[in-house]
Amino acid sequence: MRDITHKQITLRTAKAIGIIFCSQATIDKIKNNELPKGNLFDVARAAGFVGAKSTPQLLPHCHPVAIDGMNIEFEFLDASLHKENFNETILSRTGVVITGEAKSIGRTGIEMEMLTAVSVAALEIYDMLKPVDTQLEIGSIKLLEKKGGKSDRKKFFNTPPTCAVLVCSDSTAAGERQDNSGKMIQQMLSAVNANVKHYTIVPDDKEKIQQQIRIWVAEDVHFIFTTGGTGLGPRDNTVAAVKEILERDAEGIMEAIRSYGQMRTPLAMMSRGVAGSIDKTLIVTLPGSTDGARESLEAILPAVFHARKMMLGGGH
């Protein structure tokens, strides 16, 4: 199974649809409650719920997810009702349309659970109709919509944001230590289609840090990510340097970072990072360790890019 520990816990939704084709005579029996096995749709709905809950047992690579809400509805296939979902060939036939929606708050999507629910509900209907119809056929099962996780990335920015990475380290600036965290930050930003315009290394010196940040703010760089100088060491000056020049705090960003980090290591509580804006630029201070910087970005990307719209007066 794939490692999903790096993923953010978000609201995820999915909607799926499918059809079991049957004759008009069978539809008449359903409407008149004349089926030998009794009520059709209540049993099929329950079967769909059970199928969704059993998805990780049926599909080996599916992670167990908490199903926080699910609904399954049934309609008779109708060209006027279902023309957006099916082509004319399908709409010319008769059958029962199964539509399901589900919600989950977690690290991975719920689309496979919804597709399984629709499939199992269709199989249950097949089983209940087979005594009266020998031409049954299940088909057109597909995902209509999914939201949450990677699916929502585009809503956080319309155009690639411009970013700068500032490595704050005495030893790296002196050439005594190779930078790893700054380069990793560059890679992660590029992976979400951000434009990393600048990458600079400075000593962990308050004046030099502030000077470089002000240059980038004047250039209207959208986001500045610093790395290093967020700990409790005697030369950890980055947080104080940035805090002095911030015009507005963005404490929620650091709350998200610390919460995410605390679920992975108790050492996350030692970070003194800050975040906030100067003019229309957002500055976020990240730890100097590669793991700490990576986990911090995992906690806020790409949602943090929405800050640009807010700083420009666009609101939420």
The reply to whether domains 10-149 and 157-311 share a CATH topology is no
B/e letters for 27-47, b = 16+ CB within 10 Å, e = fewer, are: bebbeeeeeeeeebbebbbeb
Token pair listed for 297: 């970005």
Q: What is the pTM of this model?
A: 0.70
Residue 231: predicted pLDDT: 83
Pick the CATH number of 157-311 from 3.60.40.10, 3.40.190.10, 3.10.20.30, 3.40.980.10: 3.40.980.10
Give φ, ψ of 205 to 5 degrees.
Answer: -120, 130
Which residue ranges make up each domain of the chain? 10-149, 157-311
Token pair listed for 12: 């995820």
CATH 3.30.70.640 fits 10-149, yes or no: yes
Q: Name beta bridge partners: 74.
A: 98
For the annotated catalytic residues, the residue numbers are 127
Of residues 204, 101, 199, 192, the one with CA closest to residue 155? 192
Q: How do strand 275-278 and strand 281-286 relate by DSSP bridges?
A: antiparallel
Give burial (CB, 10 Å; 0-12/13-18/19+) of 242.
buried
Question: Per-residue confidence of the chain (316 residues) as pLDDT tens digits?
Answer: 877 777 777 889 999 999 999 999 999 999 998 898 878 999 999 999 999 999 999 999 999 999 999 999 999 999 999 999 999 999 999 999 999 999 998 888 899 999 999 999 999 999 999 999 999 999 999 999 998 866 565 566 668 899 999 999 999 999 999 999 999 999 999 999 999 999 999 999 999 999 999 999 999 999 999 999 988 888 889 999 999 999 999 999 999 999 988 888 888 777 889 999 999 999 999 999 999 999 999 999 999 999 998 898 876 6
Residue 204: predicted pLDDT: 93
Residue 203: predicted pLDDT: 96
